[in-house]
Structure 1
Amino acid sequence: MGSQSPTVTQPFTLAVCAEMIFRDLPVLERVKRIHELGFQVEIWDWTQHDIKALAASGATFSSMTGYITGTLADDAGADELLRTAALSIPVAKELGIPRLNLHGTGLDNRGLPVQPASVVTGAMWLKAADTLNRLADLGEQHDVTFVLENLNTEVDHPGVPFAKAQEVLELVAAVNRPGMKIMLDLYHAQIGEGNLIELLRRSAPHIGEIQVADVPGRCEPGTGEINYPAIARALYLQGYRGNIGLEGWASGDAVAALERFRAAFTLPDSLLV
Structure 2
Amino acid sequence: MAARHLLPLALLCAAAKAAIWMPLPSYITPCSRNDPDVSGCALKSGRAAMKDFINGDRQYRIPSLNPLRIDKLAVDEGSGPLGLAFTANNGTVYGLADTSIDEVRIDLKNQHVEYDLTMPRLELLCIYNVSGKVLLLPIVGNGPGNITLIGVKIRYIYDFGFESRTRNGETKSFAIPKNSKLEYNVTRAYIHLDNLFNGDKLLGETTNRVLNENWQDLAKEVGPTIAEAIGEVMRQILQNIFDVVSYEDAFPDKV
> Is TM more than 0.5 here?
no
Pair member with larger Rg: 2
The structure whose residues are more often strand, as a share, is: 2
Relative contact order (alpha carbons < 8 A, sep ≥ 6): 1 or 2 greater? 2
What range is the shorter-chain TM-score in? Answer: under 0.3
